[in-house]
Amino acid sequence: MWLVNSLKKDIECLFFNKIMYYEIDNEQAQRFQNLVNVCFEKDINSGRYWESKWRDLELEEFLKEEYHNERIEKQMANVARRAKWRLEWPVTD
């Protein structure tokens, strides 16, 4: 079952009405309930996933990386330009 594709009211229902399970299914049930808790807390559901805070964080991290790469490229271009200028500088003895 894909919980992130569930409707918001379904996630709320699963969050407020904890599931019942046999003791041998404890681990699987806890994983399921933890996922329900995360979906409820982060407001992840079929109608809001792309508007969720996680998506904003992913975009923010991507833009930070792009900005960092652009800065490195500019610095490398400046170093190359200065090195070329120094190589063309006439040597006086």
**How far apart are the C-alpha atoms of 87 and 1, rounded to whole Å?**
65
**Positive/negative CA dihedral, 72, 77, 83, 86:** negative
**How far apart are the C-alpha atoms of 93 and 73, rounded to whole Å?**
35
- Percent of the chain with pLDDT strictly greater than 90: 29
Q: What is the pLDDT of residue 90?
A: 62
What amino acid is encoded at 37 in this protein? N
Domain boundaries in the chain?
1-48, 52-93
Which of 13, 11, 3, 61 has the alpha carbon at shortest distance from 41?
A: 11
**Is residue 63 scored above 90 in pLDDT?**
no
Quote the DSSP letter at residue 45.
Answer: S
Q: Which of 3-7, 9-13, 41-45, 61-65 has the lowest mean pLDDT?
A: 3-7
